[in-house]
Structure 1
Amino acid sequence: MSDALVEARDGILIITINRPDAKNAMNKEASELIAAALDRLDAEDDLRVGIVTGAGGTFCSGMDLKGFLRGETPFVAGRGFGGITQKSPAKPLIAAVDGYALAGGLEVAIACDMIVANENAKFGIPEVKRGLAAAAGGLMRLPKKIAPHIAMELALTGDFMDAKRAYELGLVNRVTSGPALDAAIELAQAIAGNGPLAVKKSKQVIAESGEWSEAEMWQKQTETLGNLFATNDAREGAAAFAEKRKPNWTGT
């Protein structure tokens, strides 16, 4: 059985870490399969949104320590840990978290653009408890997602937080009593119904604008959006609104 499963469903690419017996601990094979799936997400025009989830009621418990002891590293060149932490796809990506998202598992989740979690989910970067550090993005990315002093506490104590607390801190978008994947698909469908070029460019501005100075931000936004307002989809969106119908997006 493959260590990661990939399914295209109505414009949504669902990527499932498939090592439930190991609590979906990330290994080299799963990382490579995830990286390939993200390449596919960006390459295929009919795919609009990606979802990363885990099989068997757990998202990801982090790096496969048994593999680590054998000398295996679950990193992909140019993509990072899990095939995702260093390079995000151009299209939106949602983490659907059931159970534990710990260590590298949390780093995979926060590398996504949005997180949907079951109410019983747990989040944490407990690497310090093993003499390690959350070096796959956790130490750098988490303080940008939540208050830095809260991120500091999580990094230095290794303590977990539940989905309710993660939602209160703004780390999680939605908390559900059912399977996280179902709620993530609902969110993905809402995104997939919008103009694909507009969605892609909007993600890019939000992702990159944190590094722009106030003096350059308007020029940078104009450059990033390019000719978006002159595209066929822009005209189609306006026409569909005026005619009270569903838009027929072409991605042009």
Structure 2
Amino acid sequence: MTQKVILVTGSSRGIGLGVLKKHAALGYAVVMSSSSGGEKAAEAMEELKAYGVPAAYVKCDISKSADRQAALDFVLGRHGRIDVLVNNAGVAPLARMNILETTEESFDRLMDINLKGTFFMNQLFANAMISLQQQGLPDYSPRIINIGSISAYTASTNRGEYCISKAGIAMVTALFAAELGGHGIPVFEIRPGITKTDMTRTVEGKYNKFIFEDDGIPTKRWGLPEDIGEAAAALSGGAFDYSTGQVINVDGGFHIRRL
């Protein structure tokens, strides 16, 4: 049986690492990617190697064209195929500022990484997937998954640039799902809710109150990286291919309108 290959951007920790671990457990060859590498990436690689599958790391700042191309070249050079691309890389503002004070520098940084980077990763890898199909690669049914956020529709006026970048990812997903449908390449968005990661650690107290005291989440618990990993595995496994373009909410029911 052909071993499938997954690349997850921003995967040296948090949600991205959770997605990689789930796929490693399913027998995928896994490629970790982040913009910085370092000790975190090295520790995560050791965790992935314990699954007994091929595991590799490629440095990639998705806001840079050369890095995006280098990541694709690395995966194809090493494995000769890419079955699943998960666009998870993203950043929060360096400082939370009200939208009346947000700087152009902060706005541009988030758009370059979260939105532009994700768009052009979709474009680059979609073209590669089409090419591999045309070459007649055996047992090949590629898929793309973009990691969005409940911030796509939840207004946080102290980090508006983040919300806008995530709202843009929803349209990126719709556009590529529409374009690639005829090629048999499904594209999905997973929309995590309040998830316990490094990004949310600084506001843990605020979210604990929201979840456990204010009844903000119907399931009354934090989301975990493995929750997103389970959803990604369902999508990459092909069970939802006819639902291309679909948004999968992994948010404990946050999206439910309640009175």
Q: Under a length normalisation based on structure 2, what TM-score does the superposition of the two structures give?
A: 0.31
Q: Which has the higher contact order (CA 8 A, sep 6+)?
A: 2
Q: Under a length normalisation based on structure 1, what TM-score does the superposition of the two structures give?
A: 0.31
Structure whose CA Rg is larger: 1
